[in-house]
Amino acid sequence: MNSYYDVIVIGGGHAGIEAASAAARIGCSTCLITMTISAIGRLSCNPAIGGMAKGQIVREIDALGGEMGRLADLSGIHFKMLGKSKGPAMWSPRSQNDKDLYPHFAQQRLQEISNLTLIEGVVGDVGVKNGAVSSVQLQDGQRIECRSLVVCSGTFLSSRLHVGEQSSVGGRMGEPSAESLSEILRHYGVSTGRLKTGTPPRIHKDSIDWKLCTPDVGDAHPVPFSRQTAAVTNQIQCYLTTTTKDTHQILESGFDRSPMFTGRITGVGPRYCPSIEDKVYRFSDKDEHQIFLEPEGLATDSVYVNGFSTSLPEEIQEAALRTIPSLEKAQILRYGYAVEYDYFPSYQLQHSLESKVVKGLFFAGQVNGTSGYEEAAAQGLLAGMNAARAIQGKSSVVLDRSQAYIGVLIDDLVSLTISEPYRMFTSRAEYRLLLRQDNADIRLAHIGYEAGLVDRKIAQEVQSLTESIEAAQDLLKKHRVKEQDSSGQAVSLWQLLKRPECLAQTILPYVPTDSPLAELLTDERLVEQIEISARYDGYIQRQLQEVERFKGIEESQLPATINYNAIVGLSSEGREKLIRISPRSLGQASRISGVSRSDITILSMYVR
């Protein structure tokens, strides 16, 4: 075994997989150290990838040359495009995945990457020399040197599991906690906080009375996440049911024994995917809450009870579940539990995800205070890329808010002071109409290619698609036809296409067969893109103008050396946040909560 690697990644979760793969494929000798190799890629919570906003992120990961899209396609057993009742900017792909196949394919994939070594072990110590990371030490004493270190340790740092009044040490049910890592990093000046998250019970599929639930079928024509996957198929069905008043009554009877209510869990839980006891307590006027029953795989009897995240005592979980139609005889395979863990508040990071205090130290995934596989993977990809680029002396890849959800994610992480796990929502993106799942490759493939993660062939395909789209739009705008109605006015094909309900098919009869347009319009991707652009035309233009408008303030750099204490007139809260977060641009400063408008005015005078 080597005693040196360019890049070491700690943790084989979704962040670690991407980070290790990216660093190795960019050309750095890379090693992924994780507690259990066979646990790499485990889906700790719901065996599902994508969903609203997250599906867009998976598409972006794929466009940049990451792994998640392909792994989700390989292990997917139920595919559905969410948000179809709204416009294309809201469409979000989601898959239900086999909980055993996902890790299987993830491990297989990592093993085939040539520059990458997988090591089983627990990192207990980190070495720092002259302010830069230099090595890690495993609990068995082995020391490995490195130049960049990416910490992707998820929910495993000093973590505690809670079920009712019982708590135990562990990072996931049945897996240990890493007790010393956060202490070591605190020693180097990295501060930590505490967060928590929960997961619902799993039940045996034969104990469910399926007749009583509503089926939730996948798409008739399921679409894969990755542009490299030819096709995917639906292999299972999911089901829907709801809680009842009786369920709520039983849950309430256990409030005084819930670790969250009794204050035993000090970490703050997410408002976004609240536990069932939270929902019952906070929304006492609601008589029912939706429950999705999602099979965890093809070869398993386990069914995930989506919407019923809980850490109440076991007997209460069981009694409450059994008041839900179809679950009257439910047999619990694993009780719901909550995990509480150390995280590293992400304002301590630069946009490259490198620590501001220790050089070469990168953080990605749930350790940064996020929640969700996709959010973790996205950070892992960027952190791995930048860890490798730092060694190669290249500038870091930073996506901006108008380029990608990933750009929004990372900019938010380094600017916001979070008080609960951060997850992505489409509403976090100012330029949502531009950041769609259907154009992720058009937006990002060139960046992945330049970074060395996307094949030349794909990059060229995307490039020529982009050019064809532009050419087709030009031709559509130029080509005029007479209106069918009495007015007989000449309108461009583009104007026709902009009309509600008008599809490319409708205008095809007007396109002369010898026009290059006829040829262009045979490409399905191109047709999809121009239909969407036509639909959002005007609004997209306005969003682009807004992007331009804010460029000035976004590009107005704030030097890292700026002494906020010497600036007269800053509000005290603003000053404190500015010192802590040290924003890199005026735009970022303006998004920090607590930095007031007048603080921004003062700063803008300083940088002028």
For other proteins, the binding residues (CB under 8 A) are 52-53, 82-83, 85-87, 89-90, 271-274, 279, 282-283, 286, 289-290, 306-307, 309, 412, 416, 425-430, 432-433, 500, 536, 539, 542-543, 546, 567-569, 571, 590-591, 593, 596-598, 600-602, 605-606, 608
Q: Structure tokens of 415?
A: 């600017």
Smallest separation, CB 586 to other proteins (Å)? 12
Cα(221)–Cα(229) distance, rounded to whole angstroms? 14
First to last CA, the chain: 54
Q: State the burial class of residue 301 (Cβ atoms within 10 Å of its Cβ: 0-12, 13-18, 19+).
A: middle
Query: 49: which residues sit within 8 A by CB, 6+ positions away?
Result: 58, 68, 72, 76, 94, 95, 97, 102, 225, 373, 374
**Closest residue by Cα to residue 15 from 490, 599, 409, 460:** 409
Q: Structure tokens of 490?
A: 């000449």
The option from ligand FAD, other proteins, none interacting with 15 (CB < 5 to 8 A, set by class) reads: ligand FAD
Smallest separation, CB 350 to ligand FAD (Å)? 19
Smallest separation, CB 497 to other proteins (Å)? 16
Alpha-carbon distances of 577 from 63, 185, 355, 591, 602, rounded to whole Å: 35, 22, 17, 11, 15
Alpha-carbon distances of 83 from 87, 94, 185, 316, 489, rounded to whole Å: 8, 10, 42, 35, 37
The option from other proteins, ligand FAD, none interacting with 41 (CB < 5 to 8 A, set by class) reads: none
Nearer to other proteins, 516 or 538 (CB): 538
Nearer to other proteins, 358 or 404 (CB): 404
Smallest separation, CB 244 to ligand FAD (Å)? 23
The option from other proteins, ligand FAD, none interacting with 221 (CB < 5 to 8 A, set by class) reads: none
The option from other proteins, ligand FAD, none interacting with 155 (CB < 5 to 8 A, set by class) reads: ligand FAD
Smallest separation, CB 150 to ligand FAD (Å)? 11
HEC letters along 380-433: HHHHHHHHHHHHCCCCCCCCCCCCCHHHHHHHHHHHCCCCCCECCCHHHCCCCC
Smallest separation, CB 566 to other proteins (Å)? 9
The option from ligand FAD, other proteins, none interacting with 156 (CB < 5 to 8 A, set by class) reads: ligand FAD
At position 259, the amino acid (one-letter code) is P
**Closest residue by Cα to residue 13 from 354, 420, 304, 365:** 365
Q: Are 449 and 456 in contact (CB under 8 A)?
A: yes
Smallest separation, CB 253 to ligand FAD (Å)? 24
Q: Structure tokens of 596?
A: 């007031």
Nearer to other proteins, 27 or 538 (CB): 538
Nearer to ligand FAD, 13 or 297 (CB): 13
Smallest separation, CB 295 to ligand FAD (Å)? 18
Cα(150)–Cα(224) distance, rounded to whole angstroms? 29
Q: How many CB atoms lie within 10 A of CB 168?
A: 12
Nearer to ligand FAD, 34 or 582 (CB): 34
Smallest separation, CB 37 to ligand FAD (Å)? 9
DSSP secondary structure, 565-586, as one string: GG-TT--HHHHHHHHHH--SBH
Smallest separation, CB 415 to ligand FAD (Å)? 20
The option from other proteins, ligand FAD, none interacting with 181 (CB < 5 to 8 A, set by class) reads: ligand FAD
Nearer to other proteins, 473 or 590 (CB): 590
Smallest separation, CB 309 to ligand FAD (Å)? 6
User: Applying CB under 6 A, which residues contact ligand FAD?
Assistant: 10-16, 33-35, 39, 44-45, 122-123, 152-156, 172, 178, 181, 197-199, 273, 309, 339, 365-366, 371-373, 376, 423
Backbone angles phi, psi at 374, to 5 degrees: -70, -45
The option from other proteins, ligand FAD, none interacting with 433 (CB < 5 to 8 A, set by class) reads: other proteins
The option from other proteins, ligand FAD, none interacting with 598 (CB < 5 to 8 A, set by class) reads: other proteins
Pairing, β 290-295 against β 302-306: antiparallel
The option from ligand FAD, other proteins, none interacting with 432 (CB < 5 to 8 A, set by class) reads: other proteins
Nearer to ligand FAD, 199 or 241 (CB): 199
Q: State the burial class of residue 385 (Cβ atoms within 10 Å of its Cβ: 0-12, 13-18, 19+).
A: buried
Nearer to ligand FAD, 122 or 521 (CB): 122
Smallest separation, CB 321 to ligand FAD (Å)? 18
**Closest residue by Cα to residue 145 from 37, 355, 2, 356:** 2
The option from ligand FAD, other proteins, none interacting with 365 (CB < 5 to 8 A, set by class) reads: ligand FAD
3-state percent helix, strand, coil for the chain, nearest multiple of 5: 40, 20, 40
The option from ligand FAD, other proteins, none interacting with 53 (CB < 5 to 8 A, set by class) reads: other proteins
Query: 270: which residues sit within 8 A by CB, 6+ positions away?
Result: 197, 371, 420, 421, 423
Nearer to ligand FAD, 51 or 88 (CB): 51
Alpha-carbon distances of 282 from 198, 238, 252, 277, 312, rounded to whole Å: 17, 28, 11, 8, 16
Nearer to other proteins, 187 or 549 (CB): 549
Nearer to ligand FAD, 33 or 507 (CB): 33
The option from ligand FAD, other proteins, none interacting with 571 (CB < 5 to 8 A, set by class) reads: other proteins
Smallest separation, CB 543 to other proteins (Å)? 7
The option from other proteins, ligand FAD, none interacting with 86 (CB < 5 to 8 A, set by class) reads: other proteins
Q: How many CB atoms lie within 10 A of CB 138?
A: 16
Q: How many CB atoms lie within 10 A of CB 481?
A: 16
